[in-house]
Each structure stands twice: as structure tokens, then as C-alpha cells.
Amino acid sequence: MARQSTRSTDSKKMNSELFTLTYGALVTQLCKDYENDEEVNKQLDKMGYNIGVRLIEDFLARSSVGRCQDFRETADVIAKVAFKMYLGITPSVTNWSPAGDEFSLILESNPLVDFVELPDNHSNLVYSNLLCGVLRGALEMVQMAVEVRFAQDTLRGDNVTEIRMKFIKRIEENLPAGDE
């Protein structure tokens, strides 16, 4: 256990290409292990979810962000703080629904897909679906149920990468009593 004690919290010590390659190896292995793309998408989402429920604690510890009381605030924090912190990019927040419960994150670039060309036989694969799971898991831990999906993806020939997020509800049973 002692070796752990020497680790630092420096976030910039890992080569990002190694990370991209690791993610690529993971996705291709999943493609081998599962029959169809939908199943792979589901697995990626599940893994992302498990990352998200832990990552949120790290996020809260490192940033001084408090509880969001408005979905617009949540969108801002995700785009400007969280994406910046973990992926080094700042997506833009657009396409708000009239009720203010749905918006899009437009990613100019996506570090996960740096070297990726999607083969024709994987037309239904949502390569970066892990991100959806991360967002869903992290927000669930702060009592927000959301639906996250890729609406556009440069990998599939779209001009931009668009992640669509929809607010479903506050998870009241997890909300500590007396919480405003």
C-alpha cells in the first residue's frame, strides 16, 4: 500500500495518446466479445456510469463547485469546468429546448477518436458512448436523472460531434431531507 502514498494529484503526467489507444483497445475488444453494436454501446455506457459515480467525487474535491440549482448552471459547469478538467476541451452549449430541460454539447474535437476510422460493418457503434455513461453516472450522484446520447458524431460523417442531454427529474429519494 505504501507505494500509493507517493502518487501526486498532478493531472498532466500521462501521455494522452496512450489514453486514446487504451480506449481504442477497449472498444475493439468489446466489439470482439459482443455480437452486435447495440450491446457494445450498452457496455460502454455501463462502464462510463461506473466511472461517473466515482469521478464526481474527484470533481467536487478538485473544483469548488457547489450544488447546481438550475439546469443551465449544470450545462455550464459540465462544459466549462468538467470537460476542460478531464478532456482538455471546452464544448459549446447550444440548442436549448423551450422548457430549458434539454441542450446540446457541441465538441469541436474529441480526444477519444483521434486515430479512429469506423469500419463499415460497425455502422451502429457509438464509439464514444462511454462519455454518456460518465455524465449520467456523475449527475445521478448529485440527484439528477438525465438522458444522454450522441446526436451527431464526426466519426459517422457529421460535421460536428453533438452530445444531447435531457433532464428527466430530480431524484428526490436520494435528496437528503431538508435539502433546498
Provide the binding-site residues for another protein, judged by CB under 8 A. 1, 4-5, 9, 53-54, 56-58, 60-62, 65-67, 69-72, 98-101, 141-144, 167, 169-170, 172, 174, 176-180
Which is nearer to another protein, 135 or 155 (by Cβ)? 135
Q: CB 47 → another protein: shortest distance, Å?
A: 12
Q: CB 171 → another protein: shortest distance, Å?
A: 11
Which is nearer to another protein, 87 or 142 (by Cβ)? 142
Spatial distance between the Cα atoms of 82 and 120, rounded to a whole number of angstroms? 33
Q: CB 16 → another protein: shortest distance, Å?
A: 19
Which is nearer to another protein, 18 or 99 (by Cβ)? 99
Which is nearer to another protein, 43 or 74 (by Cβ)? 74
Q: CB 143 → another protein: shortest distance, Å?
A: 8
